[in-house]
Amino acid sequence: MLRYTVSRLISAVPTLALVLVLAFSLVHAAPGGPFDTERALPPETEARLNEAYGLDQPFWVQFGNYVGGLLRGDFGPSYRYPQSTVGELIADAFPVSATLGLLALVVGAGLGIAIGIVAALRQNSVLDHVLMSVSMTGISVPGFVIAPLAVLLFAVTLRWLPASGLQTPAHYVLPVFALALPMLAYVARLMRASLVETLKSQFIRTARSQGLSSRTLVFRYAMKPALIPVVSYLGPAIAAVLTGSVVIEQIFNIPGIGRLFIQGALNRDYTLVMGLVVLYSSLLIVMNLIVDLLYGVLDPRVRY
Amino acid sequence: MSLLRVDDLNVRFETDGAEVHAVRNLNLRLEPQEAVGIVGESGSGKSQAMAAIMGLLSENGRATGSVLLDGEEILNLDEKALRGVRGRRLSIVFQDPMTSLNPYLTIGQQLSRVLIEQRSMDEAMARNEVVRMLDAVKLPAARRRLSSYPHEYSGGMRQRVMIAAALLCRPDILIADEPTTALDVTVQASILQLLGELRESFRTALILISHDLGVVAGVCDRLVVMDQGRVIEEGPTETVFANPQTGCTQALIEAVPRLDRPAPKRRDVDRSGEPLLQADKLMVRYPLPRPGWRGPRRFTAVRGVDLDLYPGETLGVVGESGCGKSSLARALLDIGRDSGEVQYLGRPLSGLRGEALRRARRDLTFVFQDPLGSLDPRMTIEQTVEEPAIVHGLVGERGACRSRVIEMLERVGLDASMLNRYPHEFSGGQCQRIGIARALMTQPRVLICDEAVSALDVTVQAGILSLLDGLQRELSLAIVFIAHDLAVVREVSDRVVVMYLGRVVEEGPVHALYTAPRHPYTRALLQAAPIPDPVIERRRDRPATQFEIPAPWNLPPGCPYRQRCAHATDTCAASLPELHVLDGDAARRVACHHAETLALGAPDYGDLGPSGVGTGAPLTVSSPPE
């Protein structure tokens, strides 16, 4: 398992390198630059700025400098927020997004799995159909529709919850709900399908023939295999939810990674965008590795 | 009062609006400690009847009638009430021990769970009881193995575990649903023996379901024959075998090839000329499923096999599962070959390129084990059969060779009305015929049949075997016939090769090899094969094999068979026996140090011949066995 982990981490290096090259080229290929504003700067000022940040260098030299900095743990300076580095910006925003994301994960995965189990055990009942249609809605209606509607209902009309910001625990309810809903819906459907499938397998029939209780069948025998598809979905989903949602953070005015991303991209803040790309892709790689290692925990036949 | 009394049991399945009547008016009595065999071809309703009794029908199934267990109705009880019956009074062992055990829990966990729930034992007590039961089913080193997972066991050991699990709560009735069908013949023999012994020691009544008459012949007191959901015959085992009342039972009994009857006479094959296909030191290797830090990363499935195949000849290949039969078959077509050489008409296959290779492939064709799985479900029968002709450029477009397709279909006993239908509309036997028609489309000279009849019912199997025989005669085909069923192989082969762990251990003309085997393994295989005759089967002396096949990546030094061999000596541990021409018989080759000196005797087919029946003891052994 150690050997497997090490080799997977090593093989992540070329993946990351490729992501870096692609992202760097794309960011630089986008028209405009970090110092373009509505009122054009005097050319000599812009030239001095470009020189100061090394933007006058050839593309590959810039890329080399950036990667060199990364290797030293330096994400570089932000072009639009000269008072802070990209590292500091991420350090401020990431905990905000990650907290929201973790809460959404607990709610989404936890409730999703529970709903999936209930639906699977009551397969084709009215309850099953209701739960599954609600889930379908959760998947198909996008966050930028759900979130404003929730704000309208709970914050504006009913005045139960605050509409934006993150000052008190009550402020967390609506954004966490909005973030968790699609995950919850997706997990519930996955869980239902895989549990229904698992309960049809031969070894469950054997267990039934031995007179074991249905609680044992579901929780001791069928749960592990049924969780496997859920785990493979959750890996990348966790990486996504921890790094914040562009839409949700915008709507609830939350100073997280998602908002940073939007601003960075719009402002052509090259280093900021690159830093966030590195953060997201590393998280994704790590989460996928954890998922693969979890397969080994869930299924004893899988060995690394 | 009977222990189990089934009256008017009907099982129906609802599928897509249509109703399938799987079991029709079944009546059955089972007395305490009695063993009843239920036989019938696939789809005869025997398994569904048992599933209904246990309340294990799938959701679209409905059972009506009455099932009295000790006078109490148990049919269609609710799940809760059934829990008191299942496991405690009625237990079942399913066919496939690979999928019937929970792969996610250790053996100890899943077996003790039954005791914890059903007999309110605590964990420690349950574990001790599990160990006792695993000992009873003769699982070696039971306590140590509690923490293993099912996939770490061989098929035979898993089936022992399944039997142990079924007996944990000392049920009155044990139902065994095709318990040995997925197992090798040697393992099957030991499992059947075990079932017989356990029935005595646990005083359990047994219902043994099988399609194999040989399996039930030795074990069961009474026999029930089912066909299309109905019981068509019932009676004491001896009577049913000796004097079948219905044509269907008779056909079932007669369709089974029997080792104790003379084999059909084969034509003489001219082996003076050049062999058609020649394998030379063939090796096939696969990556190990779980390689360690150090040590080998691959294992060898076929270890240097030499073969000759002459025109018009059938070469049978037998051996237990995992012995490399299928890998060899593929390697003969230069698929997966690691080293060694296959020569076709004197030219190495690996040297052929382009058109020459295509020509060779046209001549060498394959028939697979799974009849339905080897046909493309989205292609019509016409498209399937004409496919090879199109691939090989014999015809330009689809539909251009319809008359030839029809000719092929007629040749395998089908007809033109099937052209536009799809594989799922046909039975297993028909699908296998379609597969053969496809293989014949390019006018091949060699047909490689890899377990081509193993998945079929005996009567269907008999039809395919006679079809192959007729085709061989008409088209002078050479056939490589791979199978695990020794009686079937004897039926069709001119020469037979016995494989063990990737090596050929014995090779010879079919008659000589079956009547006077010279390798202890060959004899053990023949000895283990059941004979569908209760009188003979009960009289046969069958040595129990304790040792199962070692993993092919973890072979002991010396002769790989020595741990299972009753005749092993120090020589066997010291060096690997070479496959050599037998002294005094140039047609036979054996890989045993003692082939010339051991007097193995003829296998005991129970025919009371004077040829030293059942005497497996060596006459001359240089040193005492280990």
- Please state, in angstroms and rounded to a whole number, the distance separating the CA atoms of residues B26 and B47: 12
B294 assigned to some structural domain: yes
Tell me which residue of B159, B241, B59, B436 sits closest to A206, measured CA to CA: B159
Write the CA distances from B617 to B268, B524, B605, integer angstroms.
Answer: 35, 13, 17
| H helices present in B441-503, as ranges | 458-475, 486-492
User: What is each CA distance from B604 to B108, B538, B539, in whole angstroms?
Assistant: 39, 12, 10
Are B233 and B240 in contact by the 8 Å Cβ rule? The answer is yes
Beta-carbon separation of B104 and A206 below 8 A: no
- The CB density around residue A9, as the number of other CB atoms within 10 Å, is 12
Shortest alpha-carbon distance between residue B225 and chain A (Å): 25
User: Do B580 and B503 contact (CB within 8 A), yes or no?
Assistant: no
Asked whether residue B617 carries a pLDDT value surpassing 70, the answer given is no
Mutation site for A-interface testing, chosen from B74, B83, B104, B168 by largest number of A Cβ within 10 Å: B104
In a domain, B110, yes or no: yes
* Cβ-based contacts under 8 A for chains A and B: 83
pLDDT confidence bin for B616, thresholds 50/70/90:
very low
Cβ contacts of B101 on chain A, cutoff 8 Å: 203, 206
| pLDDT, average across residues B243-255 | 89
Residue range B374-384: average pLDDT?
Answer: 93
Task: Give the containing element (helix H, strand E) for B254.
Answer: helix B247-255
Q: Tell which of A210, A223, A299 to mutate to test the B interface (max B CBs under 10 Å).
A: A210
Q: If you measure CA to CA, which chain B residue comes closest to A297? A: B104
Share of chain B above pLDDT 70, in %: 94
B522 in a structural domain: no
CA-nearest residue to A300 within chain B is: B104
Q: Across all residues in chain A, what is the average pLDDT?
A: 89
Higher pLDDT, A203 or B544: A203
For residue B612, is pLDDT > 60?
Answer: no
Q: Find the range with the poorest average confidence among A40-44, A249-253, B295-299, B307-311.
A: B295-299
CATH for B460: 3.40.50.300
Higher pLDDT, B369 or B89: B89
User: Distance from B103 to chain A by nearest Cα, in Å?
Assistant: 7
Q: Kindly determine whether residue A203 and residue B162, on different chains, have CB atoms separated by under 8 Å.
A: no
Pairing of β B277-287 and β B298-309: antiparallel
Between chains, do B104 and A211 touch, taking CB under 8 Å as contact? no
Query: B83, A224: Cβ pair inside 8 Å?
Result: no
Q: In what order do the strands lie in the sheet with B478-482?
A: B364-367, B446-450, B478-482, B314-318, B495-500, B503-509, B585-590, B580-582
Closest residue in A to B175 (Cα–Cα): A209
The percent helix, strand, coil of chain B (3-state, each to 5) is 35, 25, 40
Residues B131 and B226 in one domain: yes
Q: Do the chains contact at B117 and A300, CB–CB below 8 Å? A: no
* Cα separation, B137 vs B565, whole angstroms: 22
Residues B94, A211: C-beta atoms closer than 8 Å: no
First to last CA, chain B: 53
The share of chain A scoring above pLDDT 90, in percent, equals 43
Tell whether B546 is covered by a domain.
Answer: no
Distance between CA B46 and CA B34 in Å, rounded?
Answer: 18
B273 secondary structure, DSSP code: S
pLDDT: which is higher, B240 or B428: B240
Enumerate residues 157 to 196 of chain B having a beta carbon within 8 A of any beta carbon in chain A. Answer: 162, 165-166, 168-169
Claim to verify: residue B289 and residue B403 sit in the same structural domain: yes
Taking an 8 Å cut-off on Cβ atoms, the answer to whether B86 and A208 are in contact is yes
> Which residues are CB-contacts of B324 (< 8 A; sequence separation ≥ 6)?
B284, B301, B302, B303, B305, B499, B501, B502, B503, B552
Residue B154 reports pLDDT greater than 90: no
Query: Chain B partners of A3 at a C-beta cutoff of 8 Å?
Result: 293
* pLDDT tops 80 at residue B284: yes
pLDDT over threshold 80, residue B146:
yes
User: Rounded to 5 degrees, what are φ and ψ at A249?
Assistant: -65, -35
Q: Which residues from A are below 8 Å from B165, CB to CB? A: 206, 210
* Rounded CA separation B493/B588 (Å): 15
**Given CB atoms, is A124 within the 8 Å cutoff of chain B?**
no
Exposed/middle/buried for residue B584 (C-beta within 10 Å: 0-12, 13-18, 19+): exposed
Rounded to whole angstroms, the Cα distance separating B439 from B368 reads 10
Q: Using CB atoms, pick whichever of B79, B87, B100 lies closest to residue A203.
A: B100
How would DSSP label each residue in B153-216?
S-HHHHHHHHHHHHHTT--SEEEEESTTTTS-HHHHHHHHHHHHHHHHHHT-EEEEEES-HHHH
Boundary of a domain, candidates B478, B505, B532? B505
> Is position B191 within any domain?
yes
Taking CB atoms and an 8 Å limit, are B104 and A209 in contact across chains?
A: no
In-domain check, residue B233: yes
**Same domain for B227 and B103?**
yes
- The answer to whether residue B151 neighbours chain A at the CB level (below 8 Å) is yes
State the greatest distance between any 2 C-alpha atoms of chain A, in Å, as a whole number. 85
Say if residue B297 is in the same domain as residue B192. Answer: no
B149 touches chain A (CB under 8 A): yes
Residues from chain A contacting residue B94 (CB–CB below 8 Å): 202, 205-206, 209
CA proximity to B85, closest of B202, B182, B3: B3
CB contact under 8 A, B94 and A205: yes
pLDDT score at B212: 85
Angle between helices A257-266 and A270-298 (to 10 degrees): 140
Residues A191-218 have pLDDT tens digits of 999 999 999 999 999 999 999 999 999 9
DSSP assignment of B222-246 equals: EEEEEETTEEEEEEEHHHHHHS--S
Ramachandran bin of B620, using left for φ above 0, alpha for ψ from -120 to 50, beta for the remaining angles: beta
Instruction: Count how many domains chain B has.
Output: 2
Residue with the two structure tokens 């390697």: B331
Q: Are B14 and B62 in contact (CB under 8 A)?
A: yes
For the purposes of burial, counting CB atoms within 10 Å of the CB of B258, is it exposed (0-12), middle (13-18) or buried (19 or more)?
buried
Residue at which a domain ends, from B505, B528, B553: B505
Element (H, E) at B125: helix B123-136
Q: Do the chains contact at A211 and B151, CB–CB below 8 Å?
A: no
Q: Do A205 and B293 touch (CB under 8 A)?
A: no
Question: Does residue B66 sit in the same domain as residue B143?
Answer: yes
- Cβ of A225 within 8 Å of Cβ of B54? The answer is no
* Least trusted range by pLDDT, from A22-36, A84-98, B58-72: A22-36
A209 contacts B79? CB cut-off 8 A: no
Domains of chain A: 2-67 (no CATH), 86-298 (1.10.3720.10)
Q: Which residues pair with B588 in a beta bridge?
A: none
- Same structural domain for residues B78 and B223? yes
Contact B105 A205 (CB under 8 A): no
Taking residue B103's Cβ as centre, other Cβ atoms within 10 Å add up to 17
Q: Which among B87, B101, B103 has CB closest to A211?
A: B87
Instruction: Output the pLDDT for position B290.
Output: 59
Are B231 and B281 within one domain? no
CA-angle at A215, arms to A211 and A217, nearest 5°: 60
Chain B residues inside the 8 Å CB shell of A303 = 290
pLDDT for position B544:
62
pLDDT at B618: 34
Interchain pair A298, B85: CB under 8 A: no
Q: Considering only CA atoms, give the Rg of chain A.
A: 24
Of B461, B482, B505, at which residue does a domain stop? B505
- Listed in sequence order, the residues at least 6 apart from A211 whose beta carbon sits closer than 8 Å to its beta carbon are B82, B83, B84, B85, B86, B87, B88, B114, B117, B118, B169
Say what the pLDDT of residue B156 is.
82
Cα distance between residue A115 and residue A185, in whole Å = 9
Residue B444 lies in a domain: yes
Asked if B219 and B70 sit in the same domain, the reply is yes
* Overall average pLDDT of the B616-626 stretch: 36
Q: Please give the angle made by the CA atoms of A78, A84 and A86, to the nearest 5 degrees.
A: 45
Which residues does chain A have within 8 Å of residue B290's beta carbon, measured at their own beta carbons? 303
* pLDDT tier, B611 (very low <50, low <70, confident <90, very high otherwise): very low
Average of per-residue pLDDT across B211-216: 87
Residue B416 lies in domain: 277-505
CA A177 → CA A108, A184, A239, A243, B268, distances in Å? 8, 10, 18, 16, 82
Please list every residue in chain A whose beta carbon sits closer than 8 Å to the beta carbon of residue B151. 300-301
What DSSP designation does B563 have?
G
Count the neighbouring beta carbons within 10 Å of the beta carbon of residue B347: 12
Chain A's closest residue to B85, CA to CA, is A211
Q: What is the pLDDT of residue A225?
A: 92
Give the CA-trace dihedral at A21, A23, A29, A35, to 10 degrees.
-120
Contact B521, B568 (CB under 8 A): no
Contact (Cβ atoms closer than 8 angstroms) between residue A159 and residue A260: no
How do residues A121-166 score in pLDDT, each as one tens digit?
998 899 999 999 999 988 888 888 988 898 899 988 988 888 888 8
- Are B295 and B200 in the same domain? no
CB atoms within 10 A of CB A172: 19
Confidence of residue B140 (pLDDT cuts 50, 70, 90): confident
Dihedral sign of CA atoms A288, A292, A295, A297 in order: negative
Q: Identify whether residues B208 and B296 lie together within a single domain.
A: no
Closest Cβ opposite residue B293 in set A3, A202, A300: A3
- Cross-chain Cβ contact A206/B149 below 8 Å: no
Which residue of A203, A207, A211 is in closest CB contact with B99? A203
Compute the distance between CA of residue B128 and CA of residue B108 in angstroms, rounded to an integer: 10
Residue B292: inside a domain: yes
* pLDDT score of B573 more than 80: yes
Token digits of residue A177: 């709900």
Instruction: Please determine, for residue B624, whether its predicted confidence score (pLDDT) is greater than 50.
Output: no
Confidence (pLDDT) at B625: 38
What separation in angstroms does the CA of A69 have from each of A49, A81, B281? 19, 18, 58
Q: Residue window 205-234, chain A: list those with CB within 8 Å of chain B.
A: 205-214, 216, 220-221, 224-225
Residues of A in contact with B170 (CB under 8 A): none
> Do B233 and B366 belong to one domain?
no
Q: Which of B153, B116, B158, B161 lies closest to B136 in space, CA to CA?
A: B161
Separation in Å, CA A90 to CA A230, A244, A250: 30, 12, 17
> Is pLDDT at A46 greater than 90 in this prediction?
no
Range B202-213 average pLDDT? 92
CB contact under 8 A, A209 and B86: yes
Q: Do B289 and B327 fall within a single domain?
A: yes
